[in-house]
Amino acid sequence: MTFDSTRTLLAATIIGLSVAMGACALRPGEQFDALAVRHGMASSVIQGTQFKHRIVRKPGAPDPTRLHVYLAGDGSPWRHRQRVAADPTAREPIALKLMLNHPGAAFYLGRPCYHQVDTAPPCDSGYWTNARYSGTVVESMAAALAQLRREYGSSSAVTLYGYSGGGALAMLLAQRVDAVDRVVTVAANLDTDAWTRLHDYSPLTASLNPALQGPLPHRVEQLHLAGDNDDTVPATLIARALQRQSAATFAIVNGFDHHCCWETIWPAVVRAARHPQDACRQLQQASALTHCSRVNGSD
């Protein structure tokens, strides 16, 4: 190798390392914004009750009768289980990545105090730790969802797609928002008491537990997915939480865990949600399932 080619290779390596280090230096909220911009998605802020919420709009063919709305997980509320994070926004924005694979237009609705859009009081760390699923949080998200419907489709029904802790919020919102008639959850924390006991976490005493709110109305179709390798929210925990639900399908996907590999089957998940009675067959065509059935609960 000549001196000039060696120097060129060294320069390229230094530039690559600099770019990588620059990316690592970004805060979680900045990483989220960069991903949205890179994929041409418009971002704005919408008012809930006492909180502001990040809205990201994915372009695509609109559904004239329905809004498709994505809710993110808990992100990173803590650092090393000891220190509260300054920015709880997810370092790996899986809900946003799922939305990127949504066939058609869709919206991402941010949680209160996430994405650094609202750092002044009443925002404080309680709203991404102990009170992450509180009535105050749910009320503000319901108000933001109502505002979103006024701006983009006031007569539209709503499908909520909730990842992890976003699935808990999707269930809580469906109890309060009549326009929601479909709920899709992925690796969702549907029984917060059981989840904190499992991991020996502090109980979320200022939060609502979806498992204690009663079943959703029969008009709300539900599709819940779990990975058989998920140690964060095990499939057995989700199955127990769904025992009282009806109008629900529960599928366990072979080889998937809490993070991997939901993007690969996401278009099929969206299609399955549109035809819940046939969801198991459609999901089986997309990926190997270890279990899939309708939930026969009662209210």
Q: What percent of the chain clears pLDDT 70, i.e. is strictly above it?
A: 88
Residue range of the domain that includes 263: 28-295
H/E stretch holding 22: helix 3-25
Question: For the residues of 162-223, what is the DSSP string, one character each?
Answer: EETHHHHHHHHHHHH-TTEEEEEEES----HHHHHHHHTPPP-TTS--GGGS-PPPTTSEEE
pLDDT at 292 over 50: yes
Using one digit for the tens of pLDDT, what is the confidence trace for 233-249?
A: 999 999 999 999 988 99
3-state secondary structure of 50: coil
Residue 10 is assigned to a structural domain of this protein: no
Q: Quick check: is 142 in a domain?
A: yes
pTM confidence score: 0.89
- 15, part of any domain: no
> Domain for residue 184, yes or no?
yes
The number of domains in the chain is 1
Contact 249, 84 (CB under 8 A): no
- 11 in a structural domain: no
* 117 falls within a domain: yes
Two tokens, residue 65: 């009768």
139-153: pLDDT as tens digits: 999 999 999 999 988
CATH number at residue 132: 3.40.50.1820
Is 48 contained in some domain?
yes
pLDDT over 90 at 167, yes or no? yes
- Establish if 17 belongs to a structural domain: no
